[in-house]
Amino acid sequence: MAKDGFEAYDAMISAHDNGHYVLSLYVTGNTPRSTQAIVNIRKICEEHLQGRYDLEIVDITQNPSVAIGEQIIAAPTLIKELPLPLKRFVGDLSQTERILIGLSLQRKDEGTKS
Amino acid sequence: METKAFNEQSLLLENVELRARLEEAEELLRAIRAGEVDAIMVEADAGPRLFTLQGLDAQQNRFRGDLLAQVSDAVIAVDLEDRVTFLNGAAELQYRVKASDMLGRKLDEIVSRHWPTPAEEAASRAALRDFGTWRGEELQRTQDGRELAVESTLSKLHAPDGSCIGMVAAIRDITERLRINHELHEKTAFLQRIAEITPGVLQVFDLAERRAVFINRSVGTLLGFAPDAVQAMGSDVVSTLMHADDIPQFELHLDRVRALSDGEVAHFEHRMRDQAGEWRWFHSCDAVFARSDSGAVRQLIGVATEITDRKRAETVLREREHFLERIFDVIPGVLKIVDMKDSRCVFVNQNVDSVLGYSPDEIVHMGGDIVKILMHLDDQAYYHQHFVRLSTFEPGTIAKFEYRMRHKDGEWRWLETRDTVFLRDDNGVAKQYIGLSSDITERKKAEEELRRLAAELSTADQRKDEFLAMLAHELRNPLAPLRNGLQILRLSSDDKETVEEISLMMERQLAQMVHLVDDLLDVSRISRGKLELRKQRIELSSIVNNAVETSRPLIDACGHELTIVMPPEPIWIDADPTRLGQVFSNILNNAAKYSEPDGRIELVARVEWRVESEKQVASDEGASEKTENAESEVLKLATNHSPLTTSLATHDSPLGTPFVVVSIKDTGVGIPSNMLPKIFEMFTQVDRSLEKAQGGLGLGLSLVKRFVDMHGGSVVAHSEGHGRGSTFVVQLPIASSVAQVNKLPIGQDQTSSAGKRRILVADDNRDAATTLALILKIMGNEVRTANDGLQAVEMATVFQPDVIMLDIGMPKLNGYEACRRIREQPWGKKVTLIALTCLGQDDDRRRSKEAGFDHHLVKPVDHAVLRKLLSAEPIAG
């Protein structure tokens, strides 16, 4: 969270206002699942949240203390910080439908539309 | 109620929260179970720890990942939608991006590809479709605006079920390589240009394959072969182009090249055949071009420049040098090149050895001291003049100079040199001269000899002139008394006493003239080698007595006292009595002439012995020095009066050879020591002013010496000097044995009775005929005269004489012919025929004898001889 208070506030306000997403993906270097997770989340974001998301990728092998602070237990882990409520997803994010539901981007009944 | 509502809401919220936590936990467990998790974070006392999950699949993946992470090529994988699914570290570096930023993005957000032509793009797609892979070079533009030249390998990715799930690209940045390639290309082109414009043949030669790997175009200009043609010769290139004689040297050259360090150059000169078959000379500079892994030289690079012209010039130069050397060898004389700074000899040919005895090296090593060491001091000053002349003369002028140099053996050699300036500096100042010196020692000697001879001849000539003047005088001297005598005879023919006295005087004068002429004839005969000795075994004393008798009148006339001492025993010698008599009488005459009146003359004979080996010493030219030596070597055994034993006649004596020494000593004017060596030479007289009344031609002693020499003896003269008298010593060998005794009839009876004879005298000189006839008549004969040969024969026929005296040189019929005719007559056999002639030689006597003469008389006829002769002849009956 390198951004200062104003920006974070603005982002939160705007996210709240505009449905802006702030996502953080915690990975362990170039490991396969982590790589896969990055590819998958970026693909989801590009398809569903184009222009209204921030994706931050954090390598916990570089910053373990950050992982502790965010209560990361396994990698890769994606945290949806906005819009609230905060939500965590663990794994390589390859189950796109579940992720979309979890991100409230698709209702359960929408099924396998994409 | 509010609280209850709050609590309710609070509980509800808590419930939602719990459910969310639960869901999270379920999600976590599901993910772990599904293998979607790489690592688990655990809090521990020491801090957080990350545990990596390592399933079989994970491990394989990780292995691949590590592998891909470590390769230097960029590796990017995309899915079917061209989204990036993998990006290795090399790709992050190459495109300056982070993998986490790029994963899941479209590939063209990282890099855009540029195909040179649409056809190539189509081709790559086709290759991927058909073969699942494509490899090629392309240009890429990165997000930050760079252009990369890359070599890409694209491969389709397949899921385990075989369906295509994307594509992986290995991308190598070849920008640098291309740049290097380009530079290399430029550099190569640069070198290529250099190679092409090099005037020499530039080649890279492979030592193992023995062929030209590269050769430039100059080979075409120089040898007429195209570079391709040379390369096509392959390993035959050396044997085809190089001269066979140079190939062994070439192999050695290759060995040298093999030993070269990098950057070193080896040189080699050789011949190459051009396309026309002509041989051309080349100079090669070769260096190492490539080495094998082991460091051995694999290829050489070299430039060969043509040096045919230089070689040709060298050959011409060598031939010229050779030519010059031969010239130096065959040139007669010493050829030298001298530095004019210090007279140092910088070159000299071999001939100097034969002329001066020094080798050329020795001469050169003498440096500038050569003049001081070898040149005659008297010539050195002239040499410096010569030197100055040389340096100031017009170029090309030859200066001559004659000088002496000392031979190594110490003798002086005359040299004649012809020098000319050979080298000048830029200012025209003479620096070196070249000269040819000839040994003219022999010529100089000959010149010297010639000069000496000329001087001698001139002296002799002068003496001859003096002699002729004297001769005229001497011949004229008796003429005055003779003419006077004749006058007196005519006037006082009745006065018998006067007639007798005058006749004696006239006879004396005549005898003197005859003597003079006889001497002249003898000298002439000796000079022409015509004089012969009529040797006989004879006793010395008879010869001496005869000589004394001859000289007595002169000695007595001068009032000298003569003493004669002879050994008591007879001494026999083999001699011509007449000539040996002349020897002693001449010496006695000399003694008489060159002494003041009333002097003393002493003649002593003695016998001495001489050791055989020293025999030759005593006879010499009369040099006083040698004479003394000769005398000192003589063993004086017999004194003047010692009686000789009978063994004298034999030569068995261990004492050596016996010989007789006759010394004639006078108290006269003596002989100056400087004249002693010369007195036996012809025409020599010590002092004409001392000439006595009897005169003389200066021939006497000359004849003495020659006659003694002809007898195998010697004569020397001694004198203490002017006014102290002289001694003449004659040595003669003694006859080996006494065989024959001849005695000269001494003091013959000249008045033997001459009977009356009929005598015919023939002479074309009427006076001569008449006077002779008158004398014969006075002697009591009947005489007729004839004036030529024919008349003589006719008159003889009529007159029938007992004796006929014929002159040889007569007109009409000469004496010989007249003699023959007379002898042909019956009466002519018994007639005594006497030849009258001026010719007194043996040859003349032989001729007259052959013609039939009984006797041969030389004019003027001595009346005593004539009387004796006639008295011996029988009177014709």
B405 versus B743: the higher-pLDDT residue is: B405
Determine contact: B28 vs chain A, CB below 8 A.
yes
Which residues of B are less than 8 Å from A41 in CB distance? Answer: 104
Q: Which of B623, B650, B648, B629 is nearest to B637 (CA)?
A: B648
Distance CA B113, CA A37 (A): 27
pLDDT (0 to 100) of residue A15: 53
Query: Using an 8 Å Cβ cutoff, are B805 and B783 in contact?
Result: no
3-class secondary structure per residue, B688-727: HHHCCCCCCCCCHHHHHHHHHHHCCCEEEEEECCCCCCEE
pLDDT (0 to 100) of residue B1: 52
pLDDT at B425 over 50: yes
Residue in chain B closest to A54 (alpha carbons) equals B101
Give the mean pLDDT of B780-790.
87
pLDDT (0 to 100) of residue B393: 79
pLDDT (0 to 100) of residue B628: 41
pLDDT at B47 over 70: no
Query: Using an 8 Å Cβ cutoff, are A38 and A25 in contact?
Result: yes
Contact A35 B37 (CB under 8 A): no
Give the mean pLDDT of B196-209.
87
Lowest-pLDDT range of B326-335, B375-384, B694-703: B694-703
Residue ranges of alpha helices (H) inside B559-686 are 577-593, 624-633
pLDDT band at B265 (very low <50, low <70, confident <90, very high): very high
Structure token digits, residue B793: 């024969």
Determine contact: B65 vs chain A, CB below 8 A.
yes
pLDDT (0 to 100) of residue B643: 40
Q: Strand pairing of B600-610 and B561-565?
A: parallel
Distance CA B541, CA B575 (A): 12
pLDDT (0 to 100) of residue B286: 92
Give the mean pLDDT of B816-832.
87
pLDDT at A110 over 60: no
pLDDT at B626 over 80: no
* Local structure of B345: helix, strand or coil: strand
Residue B462: beta bridge partners?
Answer: none
Q: What are phi and psi of B692, to 5 degrees?
A: -90, 180
ipTM: 0.71
Give the mean pLDDT of B237-262.
91
Q: How far does the CA of residue A43 sit from the closest CA of chain B (Å)? A: 6
pLDDT at B874 over 60: no
pLDDT at B618 over 50: no
pLDDT at B648 over 70: no
Which residues of A are less than 8 Å from B51 in CB distance? Answer: none
Question: Which residues 6+ apart lie within 8 Å of B609 measured at CB?
Answer: B635, B637, B638, B653, B655, B656, B657, B658, B659
Q: What are phi and psi of B111, to 5 degrees?
A: -150, 145
| B130-141: pLDDT as tens digits | 888 888 888 888
Interface test with A, best of B36, B60, B62 (most A CBs within 10 A): B36
pLDDT band at B636 (very low <50, low <70, confident <90, very high): very low
Lowest-pLDDT range of B399-408, B427-436, B644-653, B844-853: B644-653
pTM of the complete model: 0.36
pLDDT (0 to 100) of residue B252: 93
Determine contact: B52 vs chain A, CB below 8 A.
yes
| B63-106: pLDDT as tens digits | 666 666 667 788 888 888 888 888 888 888 888 888 878 888 88
| B330-349: pLDDT as tens digits | 888 898 899 988 888 888 98
Q: Tell me the CA distances in angstroms from B546 to B577, B661, B778, one per residue in order.
A: 9, 18, 29
φ/ψ bin of B570: left (φ > 0), alpha (ψ from -120 to 50), beta (otherwise): beta
H/E stretch holding B508 reads helix B496-527
pLDDT band at A49 (very low <50, low <70, confident <90, very high): confident
Determine contact: A76 vs chain B, CB below 8 A.
yes
Best-predicted range by mean pLDDT (B173-187, B352-366, B503-517): B352-366
pLDDT (0 to 100) of residue B135: 84
B216 versus A6: the higher-pLDDT residue is: B216
Which residues of A are less than 8 Å from B84 in CB distance? Answer: 39
pLDDT at A111 over 50: no
Structure token digits, residue B375: 């040149």
pLDDT at B515 over 90: no
Which residues of A are less than 8 Å from B166 in CB distance? Answer: none
pLDDT band at B640 (very low <50, low <70, confident <90, very high): very low
Nearest Cβ partner for B83 among A28, A43, A61: A43
3-state helix, strand, coil in chain B (%, to 5): 45, 25, 30
Give the mean pLDDT of A19-48.
83
H/E stretch holding B441 reads helix B441-476
Residue B285: beta bridge partners?
Answer: B267, B303
Question: Which residues 6+ apart lie within 8 Å of B321 measured at CB?
Answer: none
pLDDT (0 to 100) of residue B253: 93
Which residues of B are less than 8 Å from A32 in CB distance? Answer: 38, 58, 61-62, 65
Lowest-pLDDT range of B161-165, B417-421, B658-662, B829-833: B161-165
Determine contact: A43 vs chain B, CB below 8 A.
yes
Q: Percentage of chain B surpassing pLDDT 90? A: 12
Contact B40 A90 (CB under 8 A): no
Distance CA B417, CA B333 (A): 9
pLDDT band at B799 (very low <50, low <70, confident <90, very high): confident
Contact A59 B30 (CB under 8 A): no
| B708-761: pLDDT as tens digits | 988 889 998 888 877 888 899 999 988 875 444 444 444 444 344 456 788 999
Q: What are phi and psi of B353, to 5 degrees?
A: -60, -50
Nearest Cβ partner for B31 among A27, A35, A74: A74
B28 versus B345: the higher-pLDDT residue is: B345
pLDDT (0 to 100) of residue B48: 67
Please give the DSSP secondary-structure letter assigned to residue B751. Answer: T
R_g (Cα) of chain B, nearest Å: 71
B387 versus B300: the higher-pLDDT residue is: B300
Distance CA B541, CA B741 (A): 13
* Local structure of B587: helix, strand or coil: helix
3-class secondary structure per residue, chain A: CCCCHHHHHHHHHHHHHHCCEEEEEEECCCCHHHHHHHHHHHHHHHHHCCCCEEEEEEECCCCHHHHHHCCCCEECEEEEEECCCCEEEECCCCCHHHHHHHCCCCCHHHCCCC
pLDDT (0 to 100) of residue B826: 85
pLDDT (0 to 100) of residue B46: 66
pLDDT band at B620 (very low <50, low <70, confident <90, very high): very low
Q: Which of B818, B858, B863, B861 is nearest to B841 (CA)?
A: B858
B157 versus B631: the higher-pLDDT residue is: B157
Contact A72 B41 (CB under 8 A): yes
Q: Concatenate the DSSP letters of all residues of B522-582 into one string.
A: HHHHHHTT------EEEEHHHHHHHHHHHHHHHHHHHT-EEEEE--SS--EEEE-HHHHHH
pLDDT (0 to 100) of residue B555: 86
pLDDT band at B456 (very low <50, low <70, confident <90, very high): confident
pLDDT band at B3 (very low <50, low <70, confident <90, very high): low
Give the mean pLDDT of B381-388.
86
Query: Using an 8 Å Cβ cutoff, are B154 and B133 in contact?
Result: yes
Please give the DSSP secondary-structure letter assigned to residue B388. Answer: H
Question: Which residues 6+ apart lie within 8 Å of B639 measured at CB?
Answer: B606
Mean of per-residue pLDDT scores for chain B: 80
Q: What are phi and psi of B656, to 5 degrees?
A: 115, -155
pLDDT (0 to 100) of residue B28: 79
Determine contact: A39 vs chain B, CB below 8 A.
yes
pLDDT (0 to 100) of residue B271: 92
pLDDT (0 to 100) of residue A56: 86
